[in-house]
Chain A
């Protein structure tokens, strides 16, 4: 049986690694494809070369998990076919097209586990394209992987647990954190008390980050409405509104984000049915509690299937691996499945708490001016999208893309689609779920024209 199946896993982060481990333990040799040069995903990303920092320096309280995950991957590495620095750019008919450097080839699979993760959800505001503005995830990568702060004097802005985590990591690494600007009101944080029972360590850790930041003199502001990032050729400061008053702070870098958004392109190409996740304000592939999508033989795990964090990703990766084995007629440990599902359900409940504590800034869409760049690739303004609604009656996202080029550039909407949905929905008077979702098209990321095609791999 195990010879007959050839599973493919896309992504070597916590979900992908645990899925691969589960299959390897059952005697199956999966293909694991990842864009990064080494495993770990974004959260447990490894340095390109070792340096003087310890795992504790890099991953803080999550160091043990990082070490365990990297250790697992090292142990299974010779029992999987691992393709690092490889992009899956197309998916069709139980095969993927992948590009490694300047070579492309087609790899067939019997089963597919998508563990494609997430990127920061960003919302545009004046100055967001200036050099010195990075996403929260990008700020964290600069620090962990590259040992760099994004500037001499850094402001962190936005919402979500990552805001405090990254600010704290910067402070601990010796960076000058000028302020933390939380778009949620302080009162929203009381929701976290509800989470104390479900995930006490996570909640307490979050409080510790905030407390230590404040103890070290970092100004933490709540209920912030960003006005603009100042500067002409790079960041010079940030202005925001708080309790009706405008404030300004000089800084040379801003890290910001509003939680995360799933990378769903491959699930879309695979034909998976999508549902609107009201909590995440986004469409995501439909899946059952085991990670099965609507397409037989296609599974999804981790933040690519809705945002739930790294711990959930590990559990979901294992769960999807077990589902695959079960569906392939192989024996699985049903007690373990029960444990995994209970833990995942508990984390899901906790995510609802987090979303209340770090709510999406709903006022953004009404406050954002027409001249702000909405699509940073094609440089299309918020007002261009609103004009398409007003003048051409646009009420659907792909139509907006067709008529204005929003989401048509190099990033294929990764950086602008969340905001475009809000702008479109608000302008045409519909709810975010009613304006649809961008259909994925290959290549899901840019590929070289002169790419050399190789024969199909088994």
Chain B
């Protein structure tokens, strides 16, 4: 039995971006269908590291990140769970003088953007964070950052969207989407046809073909950030840890498990799923045991990895299509989407309602790649950005 749904907005991809947009749109009064090929939030949104971090983002992301920052403490009101969000602070370690200089330079660049970074010298660091071992030169602390449980947050956004009246169709992959005179036509699952005025492409690592279908090819490829989880331990790690130059990031949850990342997994034969590599996992485990003496005797009890879309310049694509009116893209968060996703959801809802957002998103336009390849941006080589492997 085929059915046809008529909606104001069809959202392709039920990750955190898609489901938070769905919730925001529904609350504005739009009719919305949220489509996912599997379970909502089962990919990068649900199986990322869980860092809720502004520090380290390029300056052009900070306004969006600040908008999201205001949402995180309100999750209970918004989606009915707190998602284990903890405003622990985010401490980014420098292991060399050069890395410390890099942290100082970053702090200067974002000084006016409200992150309230605090640069900490080696002696002070050892005094305040005695559980960190080794040759750490210094660090930069963003006290307002924190971490949360992606498993719970992503599912809860989708659940809240459903509760608010969004048609949430899981295990319903979109096989075809096109623009006709009366709006978008989508075919999904085995028997669902959808007609919608707007389409949001928030399909994460799977967003490329949908953009390409509207003449907007993008340099998007899949990455598989992978994590190891320790057995529950006495809580010692009271801040979310990152490292300048990457290689390790770590947090400890209230129940006592430490979650440590810094390496990439690889896809399985069924490419929707990925798995950490053995050698990568051992590398992360060894790094964690070396950096945190409390983990020297600890055991890893599970690993996870998720599939995430990464852009060539590691900035996401957010905004209207340049080829197709009422098509909006939001994907390619490049391993750093978790914190800003709820803010992106609000921005996408504003784009539908107002045609523009009060938060600047010009830097994330989809045609930035086309401009570069045509050479019209020869004078504006993107600034090299040193960022953590994935958070």
- Give chain A's interface residues, CB within 8 Å of chain B: 89-90, 92, 97, 104, 106, 271, 392-393, 396, 399, 402-403, 408-410, 412, 439, 441-443, 446-453
Is B64 in the interface zone, CB < 8 Å from A? no
Give every chain B residue within 8 A of A448 (Cβ-Cβ).
Answer: 285, 297-300
Partner of B299 from the list A92, A392, A446 (CB cut-off 8 Å) is: A446
Once the chains bind, are A449 and B289 in contact (CB under 8 Å)? Answer: yes
**Closest chain B residue to A392, Cβ basis:** B159
Once the chains bind, are B303 and A410 in contact (CB under 8 Å)? Answer: no
Task: Kindly list 9 other residue pairs between chains A and B, CB separation below 8 angstroms, not including A402-B42, A443-B301, A450-B297.
Answer: A392-B155, A402-B151, A441-B304, A446-B231, A446-B299, A447-B300, A448-B299, A449-B300, A450-B285
Once the chains bind, are B285 and A92 in contact (CB under 8 Å)? Answer: no
How far does the alpha carbon of A317 sit from the alpha carbon of B24 in the complex, in Å? 59
**Closest chain A residue to B229, Cβ basis:** A408
Once the chains bind, are B301 and A446 in contact (CB under 8 Å)? Answer: yes
Give every chain B residue within 8 A of A271 (Cβ-Cβ).
Answer: 268-269
Once the chains bind, are B289 and A97 in contact (CB under 8 Å)? Answer: no
Smallest Cβ distance from B266 to chain A, in angstroms? Answer: 8
Provide 9 A-B residue pairs closer than 8 Å at the C-beta atoms, listed in order of the A residue.
A92-B278, A271-B268, A446-B299, A447-B300, A449-B285, A449-B288, A449-B289, A449-B295, A449-B298
Is B332 in the interface zone, CB < 8 Å from A? no
Is B282 in the interface zone, CB < 8 Å from A? yes
Give every chain B residue within 8 A of A450 (Cβ-Cβ).
Answer: 285-286, 289, 295-297
Once the chains bind, are B302 and A403 in contact (CB under 8 Å)? Answer: no
Give every chain A residue within 8 A of B262 (Cβ-Cβ).
Answer: none
Write the B37-53 contact mask toward A (1 if CB under 8 angstroms, else 0).
00100100010000000
Return the 4 tightest CB-CB contacts between A and B, nearest first: A97-B278, A446-B299, A450-B289, A449-B285
Which of B281, B297, B303 has the most CB atoms of chain A within a 10 A radius of its CB? B281
Partner of A106 from the list B39, B42, B279, B288 (CB cut-off 8 Å) is: B279
Once the chains bind, are B301 and A412 in contact (CB under 8 Å)? Answer: yes
Is B276 in the interface zone, CB < 8 Å from A? yes
Once the chains bind, are A106 and B301 in contact (CB under 8 Å)? Answer: no
How far does the alpha carbon of A340 sit from the alpha carbon of B1 in the complex, in Å? 50
Smallest Cβ distance from A440 to chain B, in angstroms? Answer: 10
Which of B228, B230, B276, B285 has the most CB atoms of chain A within a 10 A radius of its CB? B285
Smallest Cβ distance from A182 to chain B, in angstroms? Answer: 35
Once the chains bind, are B286 and A449 in contact (CB under 8 Å)? Answer: yes
Once the chains bind, are A408 and B302 in contact (CB under 8 Å)? Answer: yes
Give every chain B residue within 8 A of A89 (Cβ-Cβ).
Answer: 278
How far does the alpha carbon of A441 sit from the alpha carbon of B274 in the complex, in Å? 10
Write the B353-387 contact mask toward A (1 if CB under 8 angstroms, else 0).
00000000000000000000000000000000000
Is B63 in the interface zone, CB < 8 Å from A? no
Smallest Cβ distance from A430 to chain B, in angstroms? Answer: 15
Smallest Cβ distance from B267 to chain A, in angstroms? Answer: 11
Is B275 in the interface zone, CB < 8 Å from A? yes
Within 8 A of A (CB), among B267-316: 268-269, 273, 275-279, 281-282, 285-286, 288-289, 295-304
Give every chain A residue within 8 A of B155 (Cβ-Cβ).
Answer: 392, 402-403
Smallest Cβ distance from B170 to chain A, in angstroms? Answer: 10
**Closest chain B residue to A95, Cβ basis:** B278
Give every chain B residue within 8 A of A403 (Cβ-Cβ).
Answer: 151-152, 155
Once the chains bind, are B298 and A402 in contact (CB under 8 Å)? Answer: no
How far does the alpha carbon of A237 sit from the alpha carbon of B87 in the complex, in Å? 47
**Closest chain B residue to A104, Cβ basis:** B282
Partner of B301 from the list A393, A410, A453 (CB cut-off 8 Å) is: A410
Give every chain B residue within 8 A of A447 (Cβ-Cβ).
Answer: 285, 299-300
Once the chains bind, are A412 and B302 in contact (CB under 8 Å)? Answer: yes
How far does the alpha carbon of A271 sit from the alpha carbon of B285 in the complex, in Å? 25
Smallest Cβ distance from A395 to chain B, in angstroms? Answer: 10
How far does the alpha carbon of A47 sit from the alpha carbon of B377 in the complex, in Å? 75
Once the chains bind, are B279 and A446 in contact (CB under 8 Å)? Answer: no
How far does the alpha carbon of A442 sit from the alpha carbon of B39 in the complex, in Å? 22
**Closest chain A residue to B285, Cβ basis:** A449
Using known A-B contacts A402-B155, A443-B300, determine if residue A451 contacts B285 with beta carbons closer than 8 Å: yes
Smallest Cβ distance from B66 to chain A, in angstroms? Answer: 30
Give every chain B residue within 8 A of A451 (Cβ-Cβ).
Answer: 282, 285-286
**Closest chain A residue to B268, Cβ basis:** A271
Once the chains bind, are A106 and B278 in contact (CB under 8 Å)? Answer: yes
How far does the alpha carbon of A451 sit from the alpha carbon of B299 in the complex, in Å? 9
Smallest Cβ distance from B23 to chain A, in angstroms? Answer: 15
How far does the alpha carbon of A408 sit from the alpha carbon of B298 in the complex, in Å? 17
Partner of B277 from the list A92, A412, A452 (CB cut-off 8 Å) is: A92
Give every chain A residue within 8 A of B268 (Cβ-Cβ).
Answer: 271
Once the chains bind, are A441 and B286 in contact (CB under 8 Å)? Answer: no
Smallest Cβ distance from B339 to chain A, in angstroms? Answer: 20
Give every chain A residue within 8 A of B275 (Cβ-Cβ).
Answer: 92, 441-442
**Closest chain A residue to B47, Cβ basis:** A402
Once the chains bind, are A409 and B301 in contact (CB under 8 Å)? Answer: yes
**Closest chain B residue to A402, Cβ basis:** B151
Once the chains bind, are A399 and B39 in contact (CB under 8 Å)? Answer: yes
Smallest Cβ distance from A422 to chain B, in angstroms? Answer: 22
**Closest chain B residue to A89, Cβ basis:** B278
Smallest Cβ distance from A405 to chain B, in angstroms? Answer: 9
**Closest chain A residue to B154, Cβ basis:** A402
How far does the alpha carbon of A106 sit from the alpha carbon of B281 in the complex, in Å? 13
How far does the alpha carbon of A429 sit from the alpha carbon of B277 in the complex, in Å? 37
Partner of B278 from the list A90, A409, A449 (CB cut-off 8 Å) is: A90
**Closest chain B residue to A388, Cβ basis:** B155
How far does the alpha carbon of A443 sit from the alpha carbon of B231 in the complex, in Å? 12
Smallest Cβ distance from A44 to chain B, in angstroms? Answer: 29
How far does the alpha carbon of A453 sit from the alpha carbon of B281 in the complex, in Å? 11
**Closest chain B residue to A448, Cβ basis:** B299
Give every chain B residue within 8 A of A412 (Cβ-Cβ).
Answer: 301-302
Partner of A442 from the list B42, B281, B296, B299 (CB cut-off 8 Å) is: B281
Give every chain A residue within 8 A of B278 (Cβ-Cβ).
Answer: 89-90, 92, 97, 104, 106, 442
Smallest Cβ distance from A93 to chain B, in angstroms? Answer: 9
Write the B84-112 contact mask toward A (1 if CB under 8 angstroms, else 0).
00000000000000000000000000000
**Closest chain A residue to B287, Cβ basis:** A449
**Closest chain A residue to B284, Cβ basis:** A449
Smallest Cβ distance from B79 to chain A, in angstroms? Answer: 12
Give every chain B residue within 8 A of A442 (Cβ-Cβ).
Answer: 275-276, 278, 281, 303
How far does the alpha carbon of A442 sit from the alpha carbon of B304 in the complex, in Å? 8
Using known A-B contacts A403-B151, A448-B298, determine if residue A453 contacts B304 with beta carbons closer than 8 Å: no
Give every chain A residue within 8 A of B228 (Cβ-Cβ).
Answer: 449
